[in-house]
Chain A
Amino acid sequence: MTTFEPGDRVRVRPADKPGHVRTPAYLRGKAGWVDSTLGEFRNPEDLAYGLCGAPERHLYKVGFRQADVWSDYEGPADDRLYADIYEQWLEPDRGGTA
């Protein structure tokens, strides 16, 4: 069972995890939505240190409005950005500003 379903509003955790991370800094703390589920995979942030990477984590394709990511974005209002983000980097978005 996945933690999130397509259409769910999510926010990328603003965490500042040390070491190898697969979530780009510019998305941390930003709000978007789950576009689709991409499957379960061993955690690459652990695999990077030679660990087994278990348990497998859900990976999601998450969409963001470009204007929500870049404060000075000047492109069309409906421009979007998509990123693959693991479940441990996501939390439900309860509203508020990005």
Chain B
Amino acid sequence: MTGVHDLGGSPGGPVDKSQHEIEDWERLADAVTIALDIKGLKTTDEHRRAIEGLENYLNLSYYERWVAATEKLLVEKGILTREEVDERSAEMKRRWGGA
């Protein structure tokens, strides 16, 4: 079975080389993920495997994949439950008025 990420050699059209400003949430996603590594709660190899296993891999941006994979690992390891993540997410949405 070839993973969804394993695209080498597939026709993909021109490479989009445009840059974008790194957003605050992306910096935070990076920081949290690396902090969890340093704390010994997950590893880079596990994170990579979790990213490759994301069902909506192709629809996510780079750091969206990081966040989704980190959440998946924390739930998988029993450190957080999906409900806790969803509750906190809803609370943040209320507080910051996000859509």
Interface residues of A (CB under 8 A from B): 16, 18-21, 24-26, 44, 47-50, 53, 69-70
Contact = CB atoms under 8 A, between A and B. Distances in A.
Contact of B46 (A16, A26, A47): A47
Contacts, number: 34
A70 B11 CA distance: 12
Interface string B1-38: 11100101100000000000000000000000000000
Task: Specify the main secondary structure of chain A where it touches its partner.
Answer: loop
Instruction: Determine the main DSSP class of B at the interface with A.
Output: loop
Interface of B: 1-3, 6, 8-9, 43, 45-46, 48-49, 52, 77
Given A16-B1, A18-B1, A24 B46 contact: no
B10 to A, nearest CB: 8
Contacts of B2: 25
A20 B6 contact: no
A47 B1 contact: no
A24 B6 contact: yes
Contact of A44 (B8, B45, B77): B45
Given A16-B1, A18-B1, A25-B2, A48 B8 contact: no
A6 B3 CA distance: 30
B8 A20 contact: no
Contacts of B9: 25-26, 69-70
Nearest to A47: B45
A94 to B, nearest CB: 25
